[in-house]
Copies of this chain bind each other. A is one copy, B any other.
């Protein structure tokens, strides 16, 4: 019997997934959580075999939870399910020790199968997401460029970005200009959007 921890902020989805997984004879949902912090706390208590975690949750990002879990509870395999699969997330997730990565568009059979796969030590990444991640390639942005671009995401003017990054406005403009070139965009807003789409920030 594989003991599962389920974390998703959407009650409906979580409850439904639990119902679905419980239909399988060899799977048992032993705990549920609605936030990343809750998931961590619960995992420390119940020591599940597999943690199925939603990527986007109100507090802690799914990847952060995965990282914490893989260091604290090595015996627990973590897998991530997500609605919006950005290429960059996959890479970060893998780096955080995640063993399975699925979009929510897969069927329930696949979910159950992957739970078994990761529990037995295997790995599984959705082929479509993997292909996307490969085609998106590595981020050409330097760490600083990524920082600045991230601050630019909300459409803030350059002066504010400079203040928030503790940089001079001129430097910010240089980084942004460079990022605009690397993303093939025509202004920083577009650059920020495409970088986000490719998972570079």
A178, chain B: closest CB distance, angstroms: 17
How far does the alpha carbon of A156 sit from the alpha carbon of B9 in the complex, in Å? Answer: 34
Residues of B within 8 A of A127 (CB): none
Asked whether A59 is an interface residue with its Cβ less than 8 Å from the other chain, the reply is no
Q: Can you name the residue of chain B whose Cβ is closest to the Cβ of A81?
A: B12
Name the one of B15, B16, B111, B190 contacting A156, with C-beta atoms under 8 angstroms.
Answer: B190
**Given the contacts A11-B107, A104-B11, A185 and B155 also touching, CB distance less than 8 Å:** yes
Complex partner residue of A190 from B13, B111, B155, CB under 8 angstroms? B155
Give chain A's interface residue range (CB within 8 Å of chain B): 20 to 34
Interface of A, secondary structure class, is: mixed
Knowing A10-B83, A104-B10 touch, does A155 contact B17 (C-beta < 8 A)?
Answer: no
A45 on the B face (CB < 8 A): no
Query: A residues within 8 Å of B by Cβ?
Result: 9-13, 15-17, 19-20, 23, 81, 83, 102-108, 111, 154-157, 185-187, 189-193
Q: List 13 A-B contacts (CB under 8 A).
A: A10-B105, A11-B104, A11-B105, A11-B106, A12-B17, A12-B81, A13-B13, A13-B16, A13-B104, A16-B17, A19-B19, A19-B23, A157-B186
